[in-house]
Amino acid sequence: MASYLSRPEVGLSGFAKFFRESANEELEHARKFSEFVNKRNSKVVLKNILLASSGVPMDFKNIHEVIDTAIGKELEVTAHINALHKLASKMNDATTQDFLDDFLQEQVNSVSKLREMRARLHLDNSAVYLMDKEFR
């Protein structure tokens, strides 16, 4: 998403910065998950994620489509974390539930922020450029 937004013909470098920072935050979350699994004396198994099967397009029509796609992905991640939380509950694993609670709260905040961005963008076309400037 950041790559698309930073293209010269798109020209939304502020939004690109926002999405790059968001991607870095997601990498940090992956690191925390990995550390947690290791601390629990389990094994981290990483698999390739093929871009074609990720469901994330490389091209978008506009910033609205980028944000809608981001919201969709955040909701998918939330569903996966909820499923893990449910499994931890079923297994009476309070430690894992507690670990996941922080991530669930972050997901709520992320989706809320993206939805607010979407709402602001739909209010006025000039909002795209004003918001882009805010993120720089």
Residue 9 marked ligand-binding: no
Q: Does 74 carry a binding-site annotation?
A: yes
| Tokens coding 120 | 């602001």
Question: Is residue 29 a contact partner of residue 103, using CB atoms and an 8 Å limit?
Answer: yes
Q: Measured between alpha carbons, how far is 111 from 81 in angstroms, rounded to an integer?
A: 14
User: Do residues 71 and 118 lie in contact, with contact meaning Cβ atoms separated by under 8 Å?
Assistant: yes
Q: Are 130 and 104 in contact (CB under 8 A)?
A: no
CA angle 110, 69, 9 (to 5 degrees): 110
Residues 6+ apart with CB under 8 A from 43: 37
Q: Is 106 annotated as a binding residue?
A: no
Instruction: Tell me: is residue 26 an annotated ligand-binding position.
Output: yes
Show binding-site residues for Fe cation.
26, 29, 74, 107
Show binding-site residues.
26, 29, 74, 107
